[in-house]
Amino acid sequence: MSSVVDDGDLTARAGIRNAALRLFAERGHDAVTVREIATAAGVSPALVVHHFGSKDGLRGAVDTHAIDAFDRVFAELDDHDVAEMLTGGEATTSVAEAFSRMLPPGSPLPAYLRRLLLTNDPAGAAIFGRWFGATRRLLDAMVTLGAARPSDDPDVRAAFLLVNDLAVILLRNQIATAIGDDPLTPAGLDRWARQASAIYLEGAFAAPPAEPPGSAPNTSNIPNEPPEEAPS
């Protein structure tokens, strides 16, 4: 329903910024030229620098615009998470879910977040730090409410959960081809959340002593590597 992007803004300036956001997200800052951005926005290259001073200025404007949207997503996620937690619902609400809930399907923002986190620039570091703090606080609250097990290293556990969440966005394309569903669409997200919930609630691996000997029916093909060619 509610979207974090308001594209009622149809000035040329906003058009340039949106075109740059999309191109930067798809191909990276360095691989995109000012002329390409101008063409995509339907203006002249000179207008780009007239509005933003330089290509780097445009990059900065796109950064703040995107980060603003990300923070709105995460704030909404935080509220949503706390609410679900208090009502005793599924506690596993993910960043990916918030993204697919609040962003239109073809939004370039997930890919831009990927660029932001990949390049070691301060904007990505700042947003990660803020999200880490929020995750840490949420987990603390869940522990005191009995909704999460206590941990002897809560910083690492918070980082672990946040990072697993972000990985869905970072590796979206690879995941999509591997499982046959885009994990940022409702269908893929549902499958993903099911497995995540199962693991976060009960774990994935069995404790070693609990193995029942003798009752191991073979399902199908077992582990041997297929013969990949291995050049020296």
Partner DNA sequence: CAATATACTAAACGCTTGTTCAGCAACCTT
Partner DNA sequence: AAGGTTGCTGAACAAGCGTTTAGTATATTG
CA 165/CA 99 separation, integer angstroms: 11
Q: Which among 16-24, 39-47, 52-60, 222-230 is the span making contact with a copy of itself, rule CB under 8 A?
A: 222-230
Chain centre distance of CA 217: 39
50 binds DNA (CB under 7 A): yes
- What is the per-residue binding string for a copy of itself in 7-36, x denoting contact by CB under 8 A? ---------------------x-xx-----
Question: Which of the listed partners (DNA, a copy of itself, none) does 35 bind, with a CB threshold of 5 to 8 Å by partner kind?
Answer: DNA
Structure tokens at 152: 């002897």
Question: Which of the listed partners (DNA, a copy of itself, none) does 201 bind, with a CB threshold of 5 to 8 Å by partner kind?
Answer: a copy of itself
Helix, strand, or coil (residue 160): helix
Identity of the residue, 46 or 125, whose beta carbon is nearer to a copy of itself in the bound complex:
125
First vs last C-alpha separation in the chain? 55
Question: Which of the listed partners (a copy of itself, DNA, none) does 161 bind, with a CB threshold of 5 to 8 Å by partner kind?
Answer: a copy of itself
CA 87/CA 10 separation, integer angstroms: 41
Residues 118, 185, 186, 187: which binds a copy of itself (CB under 8 A)? Answer: 118
CA dihedral 104, 107, 111, 115 (to 10 degrees): -120
Helix, strand, or coil (residue 47): helix
Identity of the residue, 46 or 75, whose beta carbon is nearer to a copy of itself in the bound complex:
75
In the region spanning residues 56 to 95, those forming contacts with DNA, defined by CB under 7 A, are 56
Other C-beta atoms within 10 Å of 149: how many?
9
In the region spanning residues 4 to 23, those forming contacts with DNA, defined by CB under 7 A, are 11-13
Residues 14, 40, 49, 159: which binds a copy of itself (CB under 8 A)? Answer: 159
In the region spanning residues 68 to 97, those forming contacts with a copy of itself, defined by CB under 8 A, are 68, 71, 75, 78, 82, 88-89, 91-92
The secondary structure of 85-119 as a DSSP string is HHTT------HHHHHHHHS-TT-SHHHHHHHHHHS
What is residue 226's DSSP assignment? P
Write out the residues near DNA by the rule CB under 7 A.
11-13, 32-36, 42-51, 54-56
